[in-house]
Amino acid sequence: MRKEAERISKETMRCLSGFAKKVKGHDPYTYCMKKTHGGKCVFLNEKTCTIYPIRPLTCKFYPFELKAVNNGVHVFQHTDECPSIGNGPQLRREYFMRLFDELKHTMEDA
């Protein structure tokens, strides 16, 4: 979201166009993080996120994504690209509700 991208730009003192690119058709997201030649996020250093405390909401969701299925109903699905799926503790409904609430608040602020 634009507000998140601007916040990251301000906090990192980096030009927004240096780490994000505009996207269309992915509402409410208007930006996505640029990738390195290896396909990794530009803020990923080895296995560590260098902006972890200020990472965008989509990164907080990872490896899950929120999909609208119909009539305002949303579900969380996981991406198959994450090698750690199934290795950690089972996440409870409360975890996803907290993420969904954060999304609602972020949308209200946008």
pLDDT in tens, 14-40: 999 999 999 887 766 788 889 999 888
The two structure tokens encoding residue 87: 């290795």
Question: Alpha-carbon distance 79 to 70, whole Å?
Answer: 20
Q: Is the pLDDT of residue 47 over 70?
A: yes
Q: How far apart are CA 3 and CA 75, in angstroms?
A: 24
Check residue 56 and report its DSSP letter: -
Count the domains in the chain: 1
Q: Which residues contact 96 (CB under 8 A, 6 or more apart)?
A: 64, 76
Query: What is the pairing mode between strands 48-49 and 44-45?
Result: antiparallel
Its pTM stands at: 0.71
Partners of 21 in beta bridges: 32
Domain of residue 12: give its range. 2-109
- The whole-number average pLDDT for the span 69-94 is 79
